Amino acid sequence: MVKTKRKKFPRPKTRKIPLELVTTFLKKKGYQVVKIERYWRHVTAVVERGKKQYFFKMATTIKTGKMTKNEYSWNERVRLQINSETPFLVPQNYDQGFYQDNLFFFISDYFGKETLADQFPPNPKQLNKWLSKVARTAFLISQIKIKDEPEKKPNERTIGEHLISSASEWAAQVEYNLQPLLTIIKKANQKAERRWRHGDFVPWHMYDLKKGKFGLVDAEHGGNGLRYYDAAYFYIRVRQSLGKEEWAKAFLSEFKNLLPKKEKPLFWRDLKPILAERLIGDYRGASIGPKAKREEKLKKCEQFKEDLVKNRII
């Protein structure tokens, strides 16, 4: 494996925060803690006030707090776009502030435990029954217009220019031949269309609300991004993490059918380089991650690469 110094795209750091101190902090705010845990870069908790349960999320570093604030803001903005016809909900925010004056937290709706699918261990549940609504949600999010979004720059970078830096750094850490994927990205010279996105659009961030709708959470990376990013990422995670290639294809088909007529011919052209970049990320994750099932994960990546290069995705 080629060794390289990682600079631009490091794994976000975390810091251990004594959970008993956070519990005391929440009690002083009038909440009873039902469950609290430290998960990677956040402390999360289910808390209760009166007869209602809420969700608490707190960054463990100042840098991570910027993403946590972004999630809070994303919830605020997207809730303004939701009506009785939309197939999804996002949490309503109730409180926000700083723990020990520097670690951002917020308290919002708690959507329960029933995700549409689980990543660890992989469990697709009945995700196939939700694909149409998930596709419609991805499309609706991409159509959101935010009044204060920045104007398009006259010299906007191409899709390839957006993706090549991260892709090249990740590829340098993998011993497999990823040149065909890098070539796909480098050849993506079309203007990078930016759309509103969730940023981590996966079924384990979606919760069955039991009334035909699902709750969508964890928009830390939400905001303006490449068009079709959410669709690409959902496809990859359903195919790679859940092993449901046909369900992943069905989702893309549902999503494409929702696009305006003028966009449909460009869908594959713009989707392909995003898939290539995210697949390189999967190669890197499998190569430097835990050894358990590493060979199986890399085999899946190789098959995906072949399908992508030969245009067998859709």
- Per residue in 123-157, pLDDT (tens digit) is 999 999 999 999 999 999 999 987 665 555 666 78
Instruction: Give domain limits for the chain.
Output: 19-109, 127-309
Assigned CATH for 19-109: 3.30.200.20
- The interaxial angle of helices 229-236 and 245-258, nearest 10 deg, is 160
Return the ∠ at Cα 155 (arms to 223 and 138), rounded to 5°: 25
Contact between residue 131 and residue 254 where contact means Cβ atoms under 8 Å apart: yes
- At 16 the pLDDT is 85
- At 138 the pLDDT is 98
Report yes or no on whether pTM surpasses 0.85.
yes
Q: Can you spell out the DSSP letters for 163-195?
A: HHHHHHHHHTT-SS--HHHHHHHHT--SB--EE
- Superfamily in which the 127-309 domain is placed by CATH: Aminoglycoside phosphotransferase (APH), C-terminal lobe (3.90.1200.10)
- The average confidence (pLDDT) of the chain is 93
Q: Each residue of 188-242: pLDDT tens digit? A: 999 999 999 999 999 999 999 988 999 999 999 999 999 999 999 999 999 999 9
Of 178, 215, 222, 269, the C-alpha closest to 73 is: 222
- Which residues 6+ apart lie within 8 Å of 20 measured at CB? none
Strands (E) located in 218-263: 223-226
